[in-house]
Structure 1
Amino acid sequence: MKLSLGPIPYLWNREYVFDFYARVAEAPVAIVCLGETICSKRRALRLPDWLDIAGRLTAAGKEVVLSTLTLIEAESEVAYLRTIAENGSHAVEANDYAAVNMLEGAMPFVIGPHINVYNARTLAVLAQAGAKRWVMPVELDRDTLAAIQEQRPTGLETEVIVFGRLPLSFSARCFTARAHNLSKDECNIRCADYPDGMRLHTREGASFLDLNGIQVLSARTYNLLNEIKTLAELKVDILRLIPQRQGMFEIIDAFDSVLQGVMPPPVAADILAGCQPAGSCNGYWHGAPGMDQVNHA
């Protein structure tokens, strides 16, 4: 199995992003997904910047995938999507069916985790359209994955998110702007103030959700470190990590060390514990509520 790094879901400043990917170039990840997937108003980096980073990562031996917006709402976003689809150099991850329509028959592409692939029949249709890889939606459990894998089209790779805050929903409204009594059109890009999302708590003070512009994330970190053996048995090809500001390169090294057999999972789990401020969860994987942490007997 190989490690991949998903696209940055948050709004980080330009200098930090360039520095981050300079370090990624030296990190033990085989695949790197780049681009803005949340909101087209986030313009700290433009497409030429992403292509610049893509070129540097490619030179470092990484497979680069350009990820598309998850929610397409305007003609300008369709035009931007078309530019990505026609980049001619790098694979594209479709996070919306508009992207699938543009990419079908044009080039092999990746089905992102935000496209609902819940059974093997859907996967077969997308493979026929040209998909070379699919990323399992985070709400699916291991039994559903096992059933899909049994009928997976030949040559199609399977990628599973194994670490990061869970992407739960997207909306035409901006939650971060609304929290500051601002409209979406005049949001002042307030999401830039929350480099790992804006935390929401229950009345009892427990961490519950993170707001990230139009996206809602779990506060707890999804962590399938202890499921690596099962994922291998299910013939999963790629394990995806979702970027975060805190301890990202320690996270990458921990997963890589477990995959290489040089670090036992309990030792790696201790390292990851410090990178999960609200704790961990794995409920979806076990067919339980997503925010639950199901421990092995």
Structure 2
Amino acid sequence: MELTVGPNQFFWSADRWSAFYDDLAKAPVDRLVLGELICSKRLPFFQDRIPDAIETLVEAGKQVALTSLALVTLKRERKATGALADMGIPVEVNDLTALAHLPDGAPFWVGPMVNVYNEGTIAWLARRGATRICLPPELPLDSVARLARAGADAGVAIEVWGHGRLPLAISGRCYHARMHGRTKDNCQFACEDDPDGLDVKTLDGQPFMAMNGVQTLSDSHACTAHQIDALAEAGVSALRLSPQSKGFDAICGLYRQRLDGKLDADAMVDKIVAIDAGLRLSDGFLTGARGADWSGNPAPR
């Protein structure tokens, strides 16, 4: 099984963004998705760094794609989506409106923001040119296995969300701006203060979810340490690891060791928690009663 690094969901400075991908050129991952997934206002801060990052990663032997926005609402966003195909590398579609901007027959990838829930959708996307699909993270293992078989029949590689805060929803409103008493158009990029999203708790102080500008995320970080053997048996071709600000290159290395059989699940989890003791882990969408459930130890806090 291979490792794919998904697009960064958060707003980081341009220098931090560049350094992150320079480090990943040496990481044991097979492919990366670059670009802005969440908010088009963030893109100008690092847009001119993307060609150099692509060159660095390709020279390191990585496959690279560019993501579309998860929600396209403005004319300039439609124009930017149309320009993605001009970069000469695959586009990962995270909003189906992006398909209208791709040349006929051009191969593309499909990200986890697209609702791929059945075999018919996989067959339709394959006919349109999809070569790789990352399934939405809320699917149970039985559904993943069925869709992996459908992907194999259609010649499409199937990925599963392997690690990171789970994307739950995208809104037209910006939660960060509202919290600071600002409008969306005058947000002053408040989301930059929260490089892994802002924790949201219930009224009685229990961890609930996280917000990231216009995006809602899980409070917990998905971790497939205990599910890797089952996912491999199901025919999943790759795990998707979602960037985080702390120790991400080390996390990539731990997943590679786990896939190669050099590290068992419990030892891997211990090392992940040691990187950031504040992480709460979950794998409930695959095998639990709730998405926030965790099959390992310690239990979620």
Q: What's the TM-score, normalizing by structure 2?
A: 0.94
Counterpart in the other structure of 2:228: 228
Change (3 A) 1:259 1:278: closer
Root mean square deviation, CA, Å: 1.5
The worse-fitting range, judged by mean Cα deviation, of 276-285 and 123-132 is: 276-285
The worse-fitting range, judged by mean Cα deviation, of 202-211 and 25-34 is: 202-211
Letter in 1 for 2:213: G
Q: Distance in 2 between matches of 1:158 and 1:259?
A: 16
* Cα displacement (A) at 1:287: 5.3
Q: Distance in 2 between matches of 1:174 and 1:289?
A: 27
**C-alpha contact (below 8 Å) 2:8/2:34 kept by paired residues:** yes
Counterpart in the other structure of 2:196: 196
Counterpart in the other structure of 2:100: 101
Letter in 2 for 1:277: G
Deviations 1:22-61 (A, max 9, x none): 1100010110110000001113544442122111110111
Letter in 2 for 1:177: A
**C-alpha contact (below 8 Å) 2:266/2:296 kept by paired residues:** no
Aligned length: 295
Deviations 1:249-283 (A, max 9, x none): 22111111111222222211111123362411111
Counterpart in the other structure of 1:218: 218
The answer to whether residue 162 in structure 2 is matched with residue 162 in structure 1 is yes
More helix by share: 2
Query: What's the secondary structure of 2:51's corresponding residue?
Result: helix
Deviations 1:155-181 (A, max 9, x none): 210111110001000000001111111
**C-alpha contact (below 8 Å) 2:145/2:235 kept by paired residues:** no
Q: Distance in 1 between matches of 2:279 and 2:202?
A: 13
| Superposition map of 1:148-187 within 5 A | 148-152=147-151, 153-187=153-187
Change (3 A) 1:28 1:64: same
Query: What's the secondary structure of 1:43's corresponding residue?
Result: helix
Query: What's the secondary structure of 1:243's corresponding residue?
Result: coil
The answer to whether residue 285 in structure 2 is matched with residue 289 in structure 1 is no
Q: Distance in 1 between matches of 2:246 and 2:181?
A: 29
The worse-fitting range, judged by mean Cα deviation, of 260-269 and 247-256 is: 260-269
The worse-fitting range, judged by mean Cα deviation, of 202-211 and 249-258 is: 202-211
Change (3 A) 1:43 1:102: closer
Deviations 1:47-79 (A, max 9, x none): 442122111110111100111100001010010
Q: Which of structure 1's runs of 4+ aligned residues deviate more than 6 A? A: none
Counterpart in the other structure of 1:111: 110
Counterpart in the other structure of 2:91: 92
Q: What's the TM-score, normalizing by structure 1?
A: 0.95
**C-alpha contact (below 8 Å) 2:191/2:212 kept by paired residues:** yes
| Superposition map of 1:35-50 within 5 A | 35-43=35-43, 45-50=45-50
Query: What's the secondary structure of 2:266's corresponding residue?
Result: helix
Letter in 1 for 2:70: T
Identity %: 36
Q: Distance in 2 between matches of 1:253 and 1:172?
A: 36
Query: What's the secondary structure of 1:69's corresponding residue?
Result: coil
**C-alpha contact (below 8 Å) 2:14/2:46 kept by paired residues:** no
Counterpart in the other structure of 2:137: 138
**C-alpha contact (below 8 Å) 2:135/2:159 kept by paired residues:** yes
Q: Distance in 2 between matches of 1:48 and 1:14?
A: 9
Give unpaired runs (5+ residues) of structure 2: none
Q: Distance in 1 between matches of 2:278 and 2:109?
A: 31
Letter in 2 for 1:183: T
